[in-house]
Amino acid sequence: MMMALKHEGVKTIFGYPGGAIMPVYDALFDYTRGAKKAFNHILVRHEQGAAHAAEGFARVSGEVGVCLVTSGPGATNTLTGVADAMMDSTPIVVIAGQVGVGALGTDAFQEVDLVGVAQPISKWSYQIRHANDIAWAVSRAFYIARSGRPGPVVLDFPKNAQTEMVDFVPSNVDLVRSYVAYPKLNETAVEQAAELINNAQRPLALVGQGVELGHAQQELLAFLEKGDIPAARTMLGLSAMPSNHPLNMGMLGMHGNYAPNIKEQECDVLIAIGMRFSDRVTGNLNTYAKQAKVIHLDIDESEIDKNVKTDVAVIADCKVSLPAITRLIRVANHQQWRDSFKPLMEKERVKVIEPAIHPKEGPLLMGEVVNKVAEATKGEAVLVTDVGQNQLFATRYFKFLHNRSICTSGGLGTMGYGMPAAIGASFGAPERTICCFMGDGGFQMCIQELGTIMEQQAPIKMILLNNNYLGNVRQWQDMFWNKRKSFTRMMNPSYQHIAQGYGIPYEVVIDRANLDEAVEKMMEAKGPFILECAIREDDDVLPMTPPGLNVDDMMLEIHNN
């Protein structure tokens, strides 16, 4: 197994040992020290943390994340991370111990049908029953995980296969029958797409994470600039183009920016690039962009017409499809169309953004904390978030200059994702600053990973936005459930003492007069740092498209009845 992983170029492994994976860990011992050293093993404190750390590593590095765990609960603990990686197209390989083949089906200690459980939430799950299958299975796993639309692969590794002796013969899998990783570009579809774009008066591009996964950031900009096409980004696609690019019109979605959500209902050609038309983007599908011709660029044919009916589908890697379309489109000028976004942007700035990032009085707000950190990082940092209001404020107000700069749980919405993903990101991009925003709920779902941060001295800037509530659920309860706050208020521990116990520098901000100094202190810290901010309890995320409504029903303020 060690030789097979080394052959795949693996250098970092996140894991947690146990009985059924002990032979692998015994072999790993020799490969983490001395002349034979090939791997850096990061001991997490929970197997879910291993999976999320592998995700964070993969997101920022562009490589496959790897985690190594034992059987039974060790394996099942990773499944939330596997499902998360599947929803967000993140390439990870989970290698889990298993009881010996002879004991399978006997309800042996810590036996679980991992292949069966993992199959619906992974790209591939496979049980390595014999040692002579290891090289092939590992090579195939990495090929499937990283190729085409990336995703998670689970390898179930019975103990007998771990202890059998065979000579290592490298395997290089680059083809799997019936699996078409990179569909051949259809030139007719390219010509049809270009014709629609050339005839458009009001084109709008929707940019998703597929641009990042396809390493097509420069191809995207060339396409947008030649066609003078305004673009909006999904949450996972936020760093696919610089935040300050003149064609960037903001973030799509339920809590995205006002202008692109309104303009989705006014454009005449909608160009979706590497995005999946999530319900959080489209709102009510019955009324979504019915006036527009829809062009969908995606590597995964299953996404075509799944949610939104497509007029032209260009099924290919966007690194190939974007340049092909760019060659055929004319140099355009859509200034009048682009200018029509500006009044909507100004309306949001006055009603929502300025009050959120520059409040004049009252308790601290999440928006102003995110804005202060964003200003301090000057667009150079990697943003990691947990899930909830912290995620929504952070993605709205953070700024990006570089690609592969955001790690957040999009499709699955996994609380507890933030801290372990930040650990992975710190190893995937050790030269970059990692800023991890968490709420008090998500922080406590992964709090044990402070032990990993302590041991590794991972230089993560952890910003705890503490409002004593499960804030996003509380907001919905206030808005849609008659303010019946059913079990969303939290009694929180002393985070200062927790930080002290782990030996991690800590600062708390209650008064905004101290915010600048605390952020500066955090940014100057060489290792990890926890900055706790006491947030107004009823701080709400705006704008908002209420669930089930049309995207142009977006609210800029909450009307209390």
DSSP-assigned letters across all residues of 1-47: -HHHHHHTT--EEEE---GGGHHHHHHHHHTTSGGG---EEEE-SSH
CA-nearest of 117, 122, 130 to 157 is 130
CB within 8 A of 457, min separation 6: which ones?
A: 527, 528
Determine the 3-state secondary structure of 485 from DSSP. coil
Backbone angles phi, psi at 559, to 5 degrees: -95, 115
CA-nearest of 430, 439, 227, 434 to 322 is 227
Distances (CA, A) of 176 to 83, 116, 134, 179, 314: 23, 21, 17, 5, 23
| The pLDDT value given to residue 36 | 87
| The pLDDT value given to residue 100 | 94
Residue range 196-246, pLDDT digits in tens: 999 999 999 999 999 999 999 999 999 999 999 999 999 999 999 999 999
* Better-scored residue on pLDDT, 101 or 561: 101
C-alpha triplet 237, 519, 446: angle, nearest 5°: 60
Residue range 147-160, pLDDT digits in tens: 999 999 999 999 99
What mean pLDDT is reported for the chain? 97
Residue range 103-134, pLDDT digits in tens: 999 999 999 999 999 999 999 999 999 999 99
| The pLDDT value given to residue 559 | 72
Residue range 472-526, pLDDT digits in tens: 999 999 999 999 999 999 999 999 999 999 999 999 999 999 999 999 999 999 9
Print burial letters for 444-479: b (CB count within 10 Å at least 16), e (below 16). bbbbbbbbbbbebebbbbbbbbbbbbbbbbbbebbb
Residue range 369-395, pLDDT digits in tens: 999 999 999 999 999 999 999 999 999
CA-nearest of 448, 387, 214, 389 to 317 is 214
Q: Hunting for tokens 């990692």 — which residue is that?
A: 434
Token pair of 222 as six digits: 């060339």
| The pLDDT value given to residue 494 | 98
Percent of the chain topping pLDDT 70: 100
Residue range 336-366, pLDDT digits in tens: 999 999 999 999 999 999 999 999 999 999 9
Confidence of residue 409 (pLDDT cuts 50, 70, 90): very high
Q: Where are the beta strands (DSSP E) in 57-119?
A: 65-69, 92-98
Determine the 3-state secondary structure of 264 from DSSP. coil
Torsion sign over Cα 428, 433, 438, 443: positive
| The pLDDT value given to residue 560 | 61
CB within 8 A of 106, min separation 6: which ones?
A: none
Task: Answer whether residue 561 shows pLDDT above 80.
Answer: no
Confidence of residue 69 (pLDDT cuts 50, 70, 90): very high
Residue range 287-307, pLDDT digits in tens: 999 999 999 999 999 999 999
| The pLDDT value given to residue 400 | 97
Torsion sign over Cα 338, 374, 516, 495: positive
This prediction has a pTM of 0.97
Euclidean distance between CA atoms 16 and 411, whole angstroms: 26
Q: What is the 3-state secondary structure (H, E, C) of 391-442?
A: HHHHHHHCCCCCCCCEECCCCCCCCCCHHHHHHHHHHHCCCCCEEEEEEHHH
Residue range 162-206, pLDDT digits in tens: 999 999 999 999 999 989 999 999 999 999 999 999 999 999 999
Confidence of residue 35 (pLDDT cuts 50, 70, 90): confident
Q: Hunting for tokens 């000057």 — which residue is that?
A: 378
Task: Answer whether residue 28 shows pLDDT above 90.
Answer: yes
Query: How far from chain centre, in Å, is Cα 453?
Result: 20
